[in-house]
């Protein structure tokens, strides 16, 4: 395949951090742009997980629902994932150790990448951002977020690795979400241990940064960029 792989990013993490939580793009529209990705839902009601072309919501009450096309999102990033590097992880490592191994395959630090890791996890620690009203700062909401740890769970990690220069638009480094094989457990990953799995790293050639151009709140929001970057460090 010599096709160009484009990361489709809807809205910015910075706008989300500022409290702009209103869903403005439908899942149906979003899924036209990719089959793997992450995001959140209207009113930041949990975590969005896009796996194999289907969208799921991991809610704060520890349930998972598959989303219909009419549901709206305020922020998401999806990509038509094409594995460029595939390797097996055959011994137990922490998330940090696995991330070092993943990065050893990168050609430099300046391109986005898609990440898909399917395997067995002795530990998977996730959070689900709880539903909140627009205007409440994300970093405040995240201080009271439900967190869950599951042991010995099989499933898939999906997400994006972002270069440093895009911190603010997205979160620099890894933004990973998890969903279990039986679709009963998932969320935004805080940390994990993997003891067996297959890691896929996808190349990304282009970024399609899309904006909620008809959302008045976004258009006229007064964003304090430096403060938002700090909030992303704390909350993501
Ligand atoms: Zn997330």
For residue 72, give the CATH number of its domain: 3.30.1330.80
Looking at the chain, the whole-number percentage of residues with pLDDT higher than 90 is 82
Nearest by Cα to 81 from 207, 201, 229, 210? 201
Is the CB of residue 34 less than 8 Å from the CB of residue 234? no
Q: Give residue 184's domain range.
A: 6-235
Q: Give the closest residue to 199 by CA, choosing from 99, 109, 111.
A: 99
Q: How far apart are CA 93 and CA 104, in angstroms?
A: 15
DSSP state, residue 212: -
List, as ranges, residues with CB under 5 A of the ion ligand 1: 188
| Residue 113 belongs to some domain of the structure | yes
Residue range 76-94: mean pLDDT, rounded:
98
Encode pLDDT of 138-180 as tens digits. Answer: 989 988 899 999 999 999 999 999 999 999 889 999 999 999 9
If one counts the domains in the chain, the total is: 1
> How far, in Å, is the centroid of ligand 1 from the Cα of 215?
22
The label of the residue with tokens 């990953």 reads 189
pLDDT at 2: 58
Domain presence at residue 63: yes
Q: How far is the CA of 25 from the centre of ligand 1 (A)?
A: 17
Q: What is the residue-averaged pLDDT of the chain? A: 95
Contact 84, 111 (CB under 8 A): no
pLDDT digits (tens, 9 = 90+) for 96-131: 999 999 999 999 999 999 999 999 999 999 999 999
For residues 39-56, average pLDDT: 96
Say how many CA atoms lie within 13 Å of 122 toward its Cβ: 9
Asked, for residue 50, whether it belongs to a domain, the answer is yes
Find the 129 Cα to ligand 1 centroid distance in Å. Answer: 8
C-alpha 188 to ligand 1 mean position (Å): 4
Q: Is residue 110 part of a domain?
A: yes
- Name the token pair of 102: 């993943």
Average pLDDT over residues 213-234: 88
Please check whether residue 91 lies inside any domain of the structure.
yes
**Left if phi > 0, otherwise alpha if psi is -120 to 50, otherwise beta: which for 100?**
alpha
Please indicate, yes or no, if residue 121 is contained in any of the structural domains.
Answer: yes
Does 1 reside within a domain? no
Cα of 21 vs centre of ligand 1, distance in Å, is 14
Between the CA of 182 and the centroid of ligand 1 the distance, in Å, is: 20
Task: Report the distance separating Cα 193 and Cα 151, nearest Å.
Answer: 9
Residue 135 lies in a domain: yes
Taking the centre of ligand 1 as the mean of its atom positions, its distance from the CA of residue 107, in whole angstroms, is 25
Alpha carbon of 161 to ligand 1 centroid (Å): 12
- Measured in Å, residue 221 CA sits from the centre of ligand 1 at 22
């Amino acid at each position: 395949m010599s096709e160009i792989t484009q990361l489709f990013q809807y809205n910015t993490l910075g706008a989300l951090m500022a409290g702009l939580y209103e869903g403005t793009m439908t899942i149906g529209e979003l899924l036209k742009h990719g089959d793997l990705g992450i995001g959140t839902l209207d009113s930041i009601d949990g975590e969005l997980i896009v796996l194999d072309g289907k969208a799921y919501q991991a809610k704060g009450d520890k349930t998972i629902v598959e989303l219909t096309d009419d549901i709206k999102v305020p922020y998401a990033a999806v990509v038509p994932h094409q594995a460029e590097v595939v390797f097996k992880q055959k011994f137990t490592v922490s998330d940090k150790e696995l991330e070092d191994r993943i990065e050893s395959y990168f050609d430099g630090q300046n391109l986005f990448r898609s990440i898909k890791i399917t395997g067995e996890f002795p530990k998977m620690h996730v959070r689900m951002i709880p539903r909140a009203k627009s205007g409440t700062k994300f970093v405040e909401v995240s201080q009271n977020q439900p967190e869950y740890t599951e042991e010995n769970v099989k499933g898939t990690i999906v997400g994006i690795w972002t270069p440093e220069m895009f911190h603010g638009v997205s979160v620099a480094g890894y933004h990973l979400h998890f969903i279990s094989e039986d679709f009963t457990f998932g969320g935004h990953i805080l940390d994990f241990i993997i003891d067996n799995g297959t890691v896929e790293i996808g190349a990304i050639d282009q970024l399609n940064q899309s904006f909620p151009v008809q959302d008045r709140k976004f258009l006229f929001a007064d964003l304090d960029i430096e403060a938002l970057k700090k909030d992303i460090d704390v909350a993501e």
